[in-house]
Amino acid sequence: MGELLSIKNLKTYFYTEDGVIKAVDDVSLSIREGETLGVVGESGCGKSITAMSILKLIPNPPGKIVDGEIIFDGKDLTKATDEEIRKIRGNKISVIFQEPMTSLNPVFTIGDQIIEAIVLHQNMNKEKAREKAIDMLKLVGIPRADEVVDAYPHELSGGMRQRAMIAMAMACNPKLLIADEPTTALDVTIQAQILDLMRDLKNKTNTSIMLITHDLGVVAEMADHVVVMYAGKVVEEANVYEIFKNPMHPYTLGLLESKPILNQDKDRLNSIPGQVPNPLNMPEGCYFHPRCSKAMDICRREQPELCSVKDGHRVACHLYREVK
Ligand code: SF4
Ligand code: MG
């Protein structure tokens, strides 16, 4: 499997009146062809900003990619022109968000929106594009697709809207699908169905997925490889088995413990104490130290670097400094 996306030392900052927010601070990660990368962390850890940086969706000002490379399909997207990015967006790279109502236009039918995406990026006339739109709606498991194609977004349930969104995202056979909390707004049963659908589509199309979530349960079901982010930095990275079998970073351990356990009223009992630090007032040393039960003196002074502790398992924590 070749590398499809490789982010190297990305820094995306926001210049506000109150100071500089380092939303993405020296992040490196990569996604192989056909792979699902889970990007995990609490909200405000820089996951979405990393994803938005890929497609140049960062509002500028106040945001700006200040450093780093985003190599996609052999090309550095940080250097691409707006025109080049427009050709890639919705074509080679598609995005789905948590709440499809924000990405689907309420005044156009579902079909119109899928057809527009197809006509824009593929050499197809409207009639053919409409057939393809209906096929896509069928593919994502929408019943009566030939009627739904003429429905407006508000006429569909939340789960059906998310399916329609996925149909639109997949209509141009993207090489990379960025899914930002795709199931968070849905109830548990619908969530499971949407995850099944995404896994199915991935297996059929070999599309790579960057799956952004705060939910390690979703990661366990979907991801091949996992990146854990905290306060704009990658704090741990490994394949999915390793992350669950041998988690190392105290933040990852905290996330694993705060995962709600089915049939047990444990939700929130074990959640990590404290909050993500104020980005305008980051602590010295390890950003996690005010919340870490294992913090040592060095943690309050020195920021730990992301180091390889064993094959393909990297962690940024002073506890593992000795390990080589
Ligand atoms: Fe905790 Fe120190 Fe590791 Fe940070 S570096 S996670 S404070 S032990
Ligand atoms: Mg987010």
Q: Which atom of ligand 1 is nearest to the CA of 320?
A: 3
Of 150, 173, 196, the last residue of a domain is 173
Going by C-beta distance under 8 Å and a sequence separation of 6 or more, which residues neighbour residue 156?
Answer: 110, 148, 164
What pLDDT is recorded for position 267? 44
DSSP per-residue codes, 68-108: EEEEETTEEGGG--HHHHHHHBTTTEEEE-S-HHHHS-TTS
CB distance 90 to 119 below 8 Å = no
Average pLDDT over residues 242-260: 89
Residue 227, domain extent: 3-92+174-320
Mean pLDDT across the stretch 86-111?
85
Using a cut of 0.90, tell me whether the model's pTM lies above it: yes
Q: Above pLDDT 90, what percent of the chain? A: 65
Q: Which amino acid is at 169?
A: A
Instruction: Give the pLDDT of residue 2.
Output: 86
Please report the pLDDT score of residue 265 as a whole number: 45
Q: Is the pLDDT of residue 96 over 80?
A: yes
Is there a single domain that holds both residue 234 and residue 149?
Answer: no
- Answer yes or no: is the C-beta of 304 below 6 A from any ligand 1 atom: yes
- For the residues 208-229, what does the mean pLDDT come to? 94
Domain co-membership, 104 together with 76: no
Q: What CATH number should be reported for the domain holding residue 37? A: 3.40.50.300
Whether 38 lines ligand 1, by a CB cut-off of 6 Å, is: no
Mean pLDDT to the nearest integer, 163-173: 89
Predicted pLDDT of residue 318: 97
Over range 95-120, report the average pLDDT: 84
* 57 secondary structure, DSSP code: -
**Confidence grade of residue 81 (pLDDT, cut at 50, 70, 90):** very high
pLDDT at residue 218 above 70? yes
| Whether residue 168 is found in the same domain as residue 178 | no
311: confidence class by pLDDT, cuts 50, 70, 90: confident
Output the CA 322–ligand 1 centroid distance in Å.
Answer: 14
Give CA–CA dist 172/34, Å, rounded. Answer: 16
- Position 260 confidence tier, pLDDT thresholds 50, 70, 90: low
Strand partners, 13: 22, 64
Whether residue 211 has its Cβ less than 6 Å from ligand 1: no
Q: Residues with Cβ < 8 Å from 195, sequence gap 6 or more?
A: 183, 218, 221, 222
The residue out of 173, 192, 210 marking a domain boundary is 173
Q: Are residues 27 and 129 in the same domain?
A: no
Does 203 lie in the same domain as 246?
Answer: yes
CA 245 to ligand 1 centroid distance, Å = 20
Secondary structure (3-state) at 180: strand
Residue 231 beta carbon below 6 angstroms from any ligand 1 atom:
no
Classify residue 278 by its DSSP letter: P
Interval between CA 48 and ligand 2 midpoint (Å): 4
Whether the CB of 300 sits within 6 Å of ligand 1: no
Q: Which of 315, 317, 323 to mutate to test the pocket of ligand 1 (most atoms within 8 A of CB)?
A: 317
Q: Are 145 and 289 within one domain? A: no
Average pLDDT over all residues of the chain: 90
Q: Does residue 215 sit in the same domain as residue 304?
A: yes
Q: Are residues 114 and 188 in the same domain?
A: no
Tell me how crowded residue 205 is: count the other CB atoms within 10 A of its CB. 15
Q: Are residues 302 and 222 in the same domain?
A: yes
| Domain edge (last residue) among 112, 141, 173 | 173
Q: Does residue 232 sit in the same domain as residue 190?
A: yes
Query: Whose CA is closest to 221, among 198, 187, 253, 251?
Result: 198
**130 and 158 together in one domain:** yes
Cβ–ligand 1 distance for 174 under 6 Å, the answer no
Residue 51: CB partners within 8 Å, gap ≥ 6? 39, 95, 178, 180, 210, 212
How many domains would you assign to the chain? 2
Specify whether 153 is located in the same domain as 178: no
Burial annotation 25-50 (CB, 10 A radius, 16+ → b, else e):
bbbbbbbbebbbbbbbbbebbbbbbb
